[in-house]
Amino acid sequence: MDTGTQMDAAASFDPLRPRLIRVAYRMLGSVADAEDVVQDAFIRWMGVDRSDIREPEAFLRRTVTRLCLDQLKSARVRRETYVGPWLPEPLVDEADEEEDVTLPLMLALERLSPLERAAFLLHDVFGLGFEEVAATIQRDPAACRQLAARARTHVRDARPRFQIEKQRGMDIATAFFAASRSGDMNALGALLAADVSLHSDGGGKRPATVRPALGFGQVMQLHKALAVNFLKHGSTLLRACLINGLPGFVTREADGEVQTTALDIEDGKVRAIYIMRNPDKLRHVH
């Protein structure tokens, strides 16, 4: 392939790359895997006769979605052998336009079949008609409607009912950091919902909870133990920010590694805490 042809392919592909990565990330829950899939789509794009393609974005979205469906088969096998709870890789300071795909929804999507996940994301999140969804996942439109409806039922409780105002969320995140690191259990307790849960992903690379801490008592007990370590060794707040659409913060912990904490907040109370400690999933976070 000559240089001019490669440049033409890149010129038409590069403006679409961010949107294609968003599709792939929401299918796969991995930044690195999403980038690999999109790069694979680009290689295929360079090899096709582009003069016959009327809608490059639709063609590439189909290509990326089908590559993701193939990838999900091997991803499910990897998840079965994953050490401890699995969380999607954090997206820090994500663009506002798709904040409704928050971390709880990403986790709910994990429980869907690959086709249900694709139909739901393409129709409910990215706004495609069922004819286009059908062409993408190679099923008829009626089947796609059923797939999306089943998915919608499964993820209904994970969709944000009320978006917290961004500054209010940042204030709660900053207060949570201060209370949890200083050992002020009264201040911390005042921030938590009665049914709060805590989920941490160390991937077997760094210490993390083997199973989620469920309920106010368990989460408070865990933070009492953690506070002792924080007071001895310190934890540095790098910034408060949105993480997968949730208020949260990035820290550097005593072992020198970066960590993200995302807070699912409802009615002014933290109802879920998501902590990413796996260094393999934090390479893109600085």
Contact predicate 244/170, CB 8 Å: no
Give yes or no on whether 103-159 and 166-281 have one common fold.
no
Which parts of 49-184 fold into alpha helices (H)? Answer: 56-80, 103-110, 114-120, 130-137, 141-155, 166-182
pLDDT per residue, tens digit, the chain (286 aa), is 455 566 777 888 999 999 999 999 999 988 889 999 999 999 999 888 888 888 889 999 999 999 999 888 776 666 677 788 899 999 887 554 455 678 888 888 888 999 999 999 999 988 899 999 999 999 999 999 999 999 999 888 766 666 778 899 999 999 999 999 999 999 999 999 999 999 999 998 998 988 999 999 999 999 999 988 888 888 999 999 999 989 999 999 988 899 999 999 999 999 999 999 999 999 888 7
Q: Which residue has the tokens 């009912």?
A: 161
| Interatomic CA distance for residues 124 and 108, integer angstroms | 14
Q: What share of the chain is helix, strand, coil (3-state, %, to 5)?
A: 60, 15, 25
Q: Where are the domains of the chain?
A: 1-81, 103-159, 166-281
Give CA separation, 279 vs 97, 173, 197, 262, 276, in Å. 28, 22, 22, 16, 8
Q: Which residue has the tokens 């805490």?
A: 273
The amino acid at 58 = A
Nearest to 263 by CA among 193, 183, 181, 207: 193
The amino acid at 26 = R
* 103-159 is a CATH 1.10.10.10 domain: yes
Neighbours of 270 (CB within 10 A): 22
Crossing angle between the packed helical segments 130-137 and 56-80, to the nearest 10 degrees: 60
| Interatomic CA distance for residues 230 and 232, integer angstroms | 5
Multiple choice CATH, 166-281, 3.40.50.300, 3.10.450.50, 1.10.1740.10, 1.20.1740.10? 3.10.450.50
Q: Looking at beta carbons, which pairs linking 178-184 to residues 24 or more positions away fall under 8 Å? A: 180/223, 180/226, 180/227, 180/230, 181/227, 181/230, 181/231, 181/235, 182/227, 182/230, 182/231, 183/224, 183/227, 183/228, 183/230, 183/231
